[in-house]
Amino acid sequence: MMIGKMNGHFRLMLAGAALSAMVFAAPALAATPADTLVQAWAIDDTITLDPAESFELSPAEFLGNAYDMLVRLDISDTTKVRPGVAESWTVSDDGLTYTFKLKPGLKFASGNPITAKDVAWSFERVVKLDKSPAFILTQFGLTKDNVTEKAKAVDDGTFVFTVDKSYAPSFVLNCLTATVGAVMDSKLVLEHVAPVTPTDEYKFDNDFGNGWLKTGYAGSGPFKIRDWRANEILVLERNDNYYGDKPALARVIYRHVKESATQRLMLEAGDIDVARNLEPGDLEAISKKADLTTTSAPKGTVYYISLNQKNENLAKPEVRQALKYLVDYDAIGSTLIKGIGEIRQTYQAKGVLGALDSNPFTFDVAKAKELLEKAGLKDGFTVTMDVRNTQPVTGIAESFQQTVGQAGIKLEIIPGDGKQTLTKYRARNHDMYIGQWGMDYWDPNSNAETFTSNPNNADDGTVKTLAWRNAWDVPELTEKTKAALLERDNDKRATMYKELQQAALDTSPFLLIFQQTEVAGLRGNVKNYKLGPNFDSNFVAPVTKE
């Protein structure tokens, strides 16, 4: 009977717990504030917000929205550029001097005026800090010693940039659209420089504000960066000093949410307006909901399988071609990368100058067998492939393992963590590798240089392009890639890149598979949300909410 009493206690306790949960429960459908766009996105690749150092994907989007460059990529025709801070520009007849006229009366978010001196100082700090993306500017012959001469303010409204060779103007201008070319508020940054003891490696007595800018902001874009907490949140706020069309929304909040299924639930519940890391299944479910929509854009990242030429079987030209016939492109395209990618067999991303739209290979076992027989490998061979543990590459690797098996090739998959397989790849210790490559800057030279040039194939070579990583020694293509840089006629330049891509199709150890498509799921009331061809042109300024 006492036990009966105790049961009463239990019931009371349980009821109490349930009741307290209900009392505190939130109202049903949450909604984000009307003047705020909330996006869920895996932003853990953001390690710094300094344009001179940042070289990853998510910060490119933040910097692209919060900073302005001399020139910007023209979204309506991505083979061209449009004015940014610069109003107009001229190129001297010898192709060495670029003169930029700045738009008059512009201001940074801080209220400081934008002058050519700010532009020159921005170039100077990039070159002197010499972080990962600095080569985008230093490849024009800028050094720590000559940068103040070569990138110079003539007066407050005129900036002159002198390059060392007569490059194709499209190449120079395309490179200046990269986030590393952001125009920095020199007055503001100079208030935050930290002293540094000069060393042999770094000869300057201050850090050019690099420490402060890891989380700080000194730009002039339509939004300013208000707050960033690593792996948590990034907040953009409308910049009222912006000269162009002011954003309709007061702020854009990026919340770090990694999981696709979680993002989908939050989008359905109305806690976020945009979901950015949706996997094919969740994307499909969202596209079927009446109050939700999706949007997508091809991005400058291509996925490929590469063959190390140090492996004597893979070094045979017939084997390289045979393997290109052993990828089941149709099956991969219709299942594994459905909605998140598009089959593409050339290495230039769609939309970039000189991109060759050609997919000559189909899955053809007979043809592949024929080629293998020519190579003297009628009975196939055994080979390994390093594969990192993420989709869709694991799925593609498994499909490839099965399809090459039909031609007698025994493929052993070595699974590994991303950084681990990459370390092995960079040391040229692989047989086959499946990976992706994102463009460094929006110009065909970026991918041409890595896929079809290899200045020094020695193990201690200093220019470690993808061709080098696969020990593909191609002096002729290397020369041609260089020559394309100096071709000042845009049409001729485009043709040269097409020829390089054709050569890669015919002979390279790269099996290009697909170009990545970026997708986003949206609440129905979000309008004018458009993804760009690269991350720094995912502009959020035009977005409105109904």
- Using CB under 8 A, which of 354, 438, 444, 532 touches other proteins? 438
Considering only residues 101 through 130, tell me which ones interact with other proteins, judged by CB under 8 A.
130
Span interacting with other proteins, options 152-160, 401-409, 459-467, 472-480, rule CB under 8 A: 459-467
Interface with other proteins (CB under 8 A), residue from 255, 338, 374, 498: 255
Question: What is the spatial distance between Cα 479 and Cα 454, in angstroms, rounded to a whole number?
Answer: 9
CA 171 to chain centre: 18
- Residue placing its CB nearer to other proteins in the complex, 361 or 425: 425
Contact, 344 vs 359, CB < 8 A? yes
Closer residue to other proteins (CB): 118 or 386: 386
Nearest distance, CB of residue 47 and other proteins, angstroms: 6
Position among 10, 105, 288, 476 found at the interface with other proteins (CB under 8 A) = 10
250 sits near other proteins (criterion: CB under 8 A): no
Site stretch for other proteins (CB under 8 A), options 69-77, 88-96, 257-265, 283-291:
257-265
- The reply on whether position 214 binds other proteins by CB under 8 A is yes
Separation CA 497–CA 488 (nearest Å): 13
CB burial readout 21-34, b (16+ within 10 A) else e: eeeeeeeeeeebee
Q: Using CB under 8 A, count the residues that bind other proteins.
A: 69
> Please, are residues 138 and 123 in contact by the beta-carbon 8 Å criterion?
no
What are the backbone angles phi and psi of residue 410, rounded to the nearest 5°? -95, 110
Nearer to other proteins, 316 or 469 (CB): 469
Number of helical H runs and strand E runs in the chain = 19, 19
CB atoms within 10 A of CB 88: 10
194 near other proteins, judged by CB under 8 A: no
- Tell me if 233 contacts other proteins by CB under 8 A: yes
Residue 270 or 351 having the CB closest to other proteins: 270
User: Smaller CB distance to other proteins: residue 91 or 234?
Assistant: 234
The yes or no reply on residue 413 touching other proteins (CB under 8 A) is: no
Residue 443 touches other proteins, criterion: CB under 8 A: no
The region of 104-112, 120-128, 145-153, 226-234 touching other proteins under the rule CB under 8 A is 226-234
Find out whether the peptide bond into 392 is cis, omega within 30 degrees of 0. Answer: yes
Angle between helices 260-269 and 280-287 (to 10 degrees): 20
Residue 305 structure tokens: 């399988």
Q: How far apart are CA 367 and CA 326, in angstroms?
A: 9
Which of 90, 143, 231, 528 forms a contact with other proteins (CB under 8 A)? 231
Per CB under 8 A, does 288 bind other proteins? Answer: no
The string of DSSP letters for 463-510 reads ---HHHHTT---HHHHHHHHHHHT--SHHHHHHHHHHHHHHHHHH-SE
Three-state DSSP class for residue 3: helix
Q: How far is the CB of 131 from other proteins (least distance, A)?
A: 7
Contacting residue, 110, 112, 166, 259, with other proteins by CB under 8 A? 259
Q: Which stretch binds other proteins (CB under 8 A): 14-22, 313-321, 396-404, 525-533?
A: 14-22
Identify whether the C-beta of residue 389 lies closer than 8 Å to the C-beta of residue 416. Answer: yes
Please identify which residue in 153, 178, 253, 519 interacts with other proteins, judged by CB under 8 A: 253
54 vs 220, beta carbon nearer other proteins: 54
Closer CB to other proteins, residue 160 or residue 278? Answer: 278
Question: For other proteins, which is the closer residue by CB, 278 or 409?
Answer: 278
Q: Which residue has the tokens 């890391």?
A: 277
Other residues' Cβ atoms within 10 Å of the Cβ of residue 252:
24
For other proteins, the binding residue among 75, 96, 196, 230 (CB under 8 A) is 230
Alpha carbon 113 to chain centroid distance? 31
Please spell the DSSP secondary structure of 186-200, one letter per residue: HHHHHTT--B----S
Burial category of 315 from C-beta neighbours within 10 Å (exposed 0-12, middle 13-18, buried 19 and up): middle
Choices 12-20, 85-93, 188-196, 318-326 (CB under 8 A): range interacting with other proteins: 12-20
HEC string for 501-523? HHHHHHHCCEEEEEEEEEEEEEE
Sign, Cα dihedral of 515, 520, 524, 526? negative
Site for other proteins in 335-364 (CB under 8 A): none
Per CB under 8 A, 165 contacts other proteins: no
With a CB cutoff of 8 Å and minimum separation 6, the contacts of 455 are 461, 463, 478
Dump the DSSP string for 252-270: EEEEE---HHHHHHHHHHT
Our finding on whether 19 is near other proteins (CB under 8 A) is: no
Query: For the CA atoms of the chain, what is the radius of gyration?
Result: 26
Pattern 24-43, binding to other proteins, x per CB under 8 A? xxxxxxx-xx--x-x-x---
Report 41-60 residues binding other proteins (CB under 8 A).
44, 47-48, 55-56
CB atoms within 10 A of CB 63: 25
- For 37, phi then psi, to 5°, come to -100, 125
Single out the residue of 80, 99, 101, 135 in contact with other proteins (rule: CB under 8 A): 135
Q: Of the two residues 33 and 376, which places its CB atom closer to other proteins in the complex?
A: 33
What is the nearest approach in angstroms of other proteins to the Cβ of residue 123? 18
CA-to-CA separations, 529 to 37, 74, 296, 432, in angstroms, rounded: 10, 17, 10, 39
Binding-site member from 145, 149, 373, 417 for other proteins (CB under 8 A)? 417
Nearer to other proteins, 118 or 268 (CB): 268
Site residues for other proteins per CB under 8 A: 2-3, 5-7, 9-10, 13-14, 17, 21-22, 24-30, 32-33, 36, 38, 40, 44, 47-48, 55-56, 130-132, 134-135, 201, 214, 227, 229-233, 235, 253, 255-259, 261-262, 265-266, 268-269, 271, 417-420, 422-424, 426, 438, 440, 462-464
